[in-house]
Amino acid sequence: MAGGGMQMLGFILAFIGWIGIVVSTAMPQWKISSYAGDNIVTAQAIYEGLWMSCVTQSTGQMQCKVYDSLLKLNANLQATRALMISSILLGLIGSFVAVIGMKCMKCMEDDEVKKMKMAVLGGVIFLISGFAALVATSWYGHRVAQDFFDPYTPVNTRFEFGQALFVGWAAASLVILGGAFLCYSCPRRETSYPPTRPYPKSAPSAGKDYV
């Protein structure tokens, strides 16, 4: 079985990654306006996130507008929202489950095997959470790159990867790594055979003396 240090390291990595996923979901910089073409006005920067779009002036003033209607959003944005929210909820559940299975906690200390299984279950939930966030950020980044290289996209409306994508990729990697460390604490199934007991030697039958 893995030691308590491995469990603690896995939980810390997964929890830090989960916080990063929450921050990435809330950030408006999922994609940022590109300055790759000619005659691009650099007096303002346009950001778009999962919940709002923002415009930053050269003076440093930022104005943000929350998306008005959910039904008007494209399917890509709605799917990314759903995956990130699912990742956050799964990470929260995984945190509670993993804490119960930690060796440093007093919960379920009477049954060590069940306690270790709870830690493994928390690691599995963290893995699912991390993969959900990784799929969401990678899918969104693929669409951004696809629109950027589309020749029919106007130059002044092209976007590049924003800071939220990089935060999301790093956070998802930490959650997956932490979940893998927790899963490493899976109790090994040892095959034990009952000890062979030697058969008692039969005492030689003594002859009976007849009088």
CB 126 within 8 A of CB 94: yes
CATH class of the domain at 4-27+75-183:
mainly alpha
What one-letter code names the amino acid at 1?
M
Burial class (CB in 10 A: 0-12, 13-18, 19+), 65: exposed
Going from N- to C-terminal start, the domains of the chain cover 4-27+75-183
Please give the C-alpha separations between residue 134 and each of 156, 161, 165, in angstroms, as whole numbers: 29, 15, 10
Split at pLDDT 50, 70, 90, the class of 18 is very high
pLDDT at position 41, please?
A: 55
Of 195 and 79, the one with more pLDDT: 79
CA 120 to chain CA centroid, Å, is: 15
Amino acid at 184: Y
Mean pLDDT throughout 49-62?
84
| Cα–Cα distance, 209 to 198 (Å, whole number) | 32
Identify the sign of the CA torsion 75, 77, 78, 79: positive
Selected residue with higher pLDDT from 151 and 182: 182
52-57 β-sheet, strand order: 62-66, 52-57, 44-48, 31-33, 159-161
Contacts of 204 (CB under 8 A, 6+ apart): none
Is the CA virtual torsion 70, 71, 73, 79 positive or negative? positive
Residue 193: its pLDDT value, please?
38
Q: What is the mean pLDDT of residues 151-177?
A: 89
Residue 45 has φ and ψ, to the nearest 5°, of -120, 135
pLDDT band at 113 (very low <50, low <70, confident <90, very high): confident
